[in-house]
Amino acid sequence: MKAGIDAGGSLIKIAYQENHQMHYKKFSINELDGAISWVKIMAPNVTAALTGGKAHMIQKKYFPNGTIIPEFQATCEGARIFLGEEGKKLQDPFLLVNIGTGTSWHVVNGDTYERILGSGVGGGTFTGLGALLTKEEDYHQLTILANKGEKGNVDLLVRDIYESDQPPIDGNLTAANFAKGTRVKHTDSDTLASLTNMIAETVVLLTLQAGALHKINNVVYIGSTLIVNPSLRKNLELYTNMFGLSSTFLQTGEYCGAAGAYFSV
């Protein structure tokens, strides 16, 4: 039996096959020992294909005979596999935007890929800054709160500047993130809605620039940060389409790295 293991900054994700069916499982990176124990109990003689930032550490400590698969190769290969499985056919090339702890941009063209951009704004920003702003540290609870909030109670919107005048652009767009600060009454949910919106705007603006530079209109969003985070996904889709790009979201996109590693050996 073999397993594809993607060990990143926040999560360890595992892809394996049982009864001719692919299965996926994830653990917090803080549960690394427990995750590896689970793999070895499930398959004592497992062949491990490792990828992600902590792949070499895991190889050295747990799987000395494991195979290291370059992270970007595994991610892009996994995305192509899932696009096929989910019946989402895109014309090459396309932009692959992986929103994990941080965010990476790749150009995928047939069997080739190139990482073209990276940003420190991503899921780690949402969890870390969200905890600093609200004292809530659980990711799932943060996403629930963000989905209930109203960004306009924290962000300065275009319509706030023009007041009674007709703005030249959509009045709901952000003029300045968090600019209302303590001047307007707001809740933790409003703060997290503003944070989610800022992350989405940043990712989409960088995506727009990457697309223009490489003359690409199709964008595929993947990554663990999108899981159970409807507010982020909604904003990404809204802004991406607003700028004339086509957005695709993979249902199992958080496991692209693990699946890509699995099928690479």
Residues 6+ apart with CB under 8 A from 87: none
Q: Which of 71, 77, 201, 254 is catalytic?
A: 71
SS3 of residue 59 by DSSP = helix
The helix (run of H) or strand (run of E) holding residue 104 is strand 103-109
Q: What angle do CA 158, 159, 160 make, to 5 degrees?
A: 90
Return the closest-CA partner of residue 5 out of 53, 45, 41, 44.
Answer: 53
| CB-side neighbour CA atoms (13 Å) of 38 | 16
**227-253 as b/e, with b when 16 or more CB fall inside 10 Å?**
bebebbbebbbebbeeeebebbebebb
71 is catalytic: yes
Q: Catalytic amino acids? A: 71
